[in-house]
Amino acid sequence: MSSLASRILVALALLPLVIGLVYLGGWWLFGLTLVGGLIALHELYVMARELRPLVLGGYLGFALTLLGLQLGGLQWMFGGILATFVLAFVVYGLSDIRASATTSFGVTVLGVVWVGAGLGFLLLIRDIPEFGLWAVMAVLFTVFAADTGAFFVGRAFGRHKMAPAISPAKSWEGLMGGFAAAVAMAFLILYKDREEFLSISETLALGAAIACACVLGDLFESAVKRDLTVKDSGRLLGGHGGMLDRLDSLLWAGPAAYYVILAFGQA
């Protein structure tokens, strides 16, 4: 089976589950982000095992980050992130690890901030009164459109490398294709709420911000994997690679979307 066919099958299998839990929201969506995030975090720690991440402290800190957000909002999400420092230090002190403390703390906290905050902002968007459901749907499908547009346009027309030292396959042509697809998708999904939620110009700005965030998120994970000398974060999702490979764009798009919506006074 080709990589593309595997990607399509995995997407078709997961899409109803994700849409259903986003629709239900609340603790159902919390459960989805908790499970998916723990898998992604585990993949990061496995890739970085030579750096000796403080795994237990990271898992607990991630859970507290999402739980704090679910119960108390943005302030308590940051409380969970700060708790990770304490938990990581306690685990370090109780273990027999003799690796660099700075390195162990750094990779542990990186995972919690990267995965925990990235997914946490999606929960914040879902909690926007009246429009949270469609706002999250817009983020999810805009990310999908950006990745798909970049993939096909880059494959067909890509000539100019965008970041060859990090990801040789990325091209400026692919970036433009993904950008156009993302803006169009955001416009289509949120057009019906243009009088009550985001105006047309604000929706286009949201799509543009998500498109840029997708590229940065993808390149960020590529830089991490290149530094750790791995190709994929895992094989859980077949042609998609691991969970972290599937979430990389979303982990940057969620915060970008939230702050764009907040800037327009809708969050």
**Domain map of the chain by residue range?**
3-263
Q: What is the mean pLDDT of the chain?
A: 91
Is pLDDT above 70 for 169?
Answer: yes
**How far is the C-alpha of 58 from the C-alpha of 73, rounded, in Å?**
20
Average pLDDT over residues 206-224: 95
Three-state secondary structure along the chain?
Answer: CCHHHHHHHHHHHHHHHHHHHHHHCHHHHHHHHHHHHHHHHHHHHHHCHHHCCCHHHHHHHHHHHHHHHHHHCHHHHHHHHHHHHHHHHHHHHHCCCCCCHHHHHHHHHHHHHHHHHHHHHHHHHHCCCCCHHHHHHHHHHHHHHHHHHHHHHHHHHCCCEEECCCEEEEEHHHHHHHHHHHHHHHHHHHHHHCCCCCCHHHHHHHHHHHHHHHHHHHHHHHHHHHHCCCCCCCCCCHHHCCHHHHHHHHHHHHHHHHHHHHHCCCC
pLDDT tens profile 118-132: 999 999 999 999 999
pTM value? 0.91
pLDDT at 140: 95
Confidence at residue 264, expressed as pLDDT on a 0 to 100 scale: 95
**Is the sign of the CA dihedral 80, 48, 251, 160 positive or negative?**
positive
1 band by pLDDT with thresholds 50, 70 and 90: very low
Percent residues over pLDDT 70 in the chain: 94
Residue-wise pLDDT tens digits, 53-105: 999 999 999 999 999 999 999 999 999 999 999 999 999 988 876 778 899 99
Q: Among 5-14, 48-57, 231-240, whose mean pLDDT is lowest?
A: 5-14
Whether 9 has a pLDDT exceeding 90, the answer reads no
Q: In terms of Cα–Cα distance, which of 119, 126, 100 is closest to 243?
A: 119
pLDDT at 17 > cutoff 60 = yes
pLDDT category at 238 given cuts 50, 70, 90 is low
Q: Which of 147, 68, 120 lies closest to 259 in space, CA to CA?
A: 120
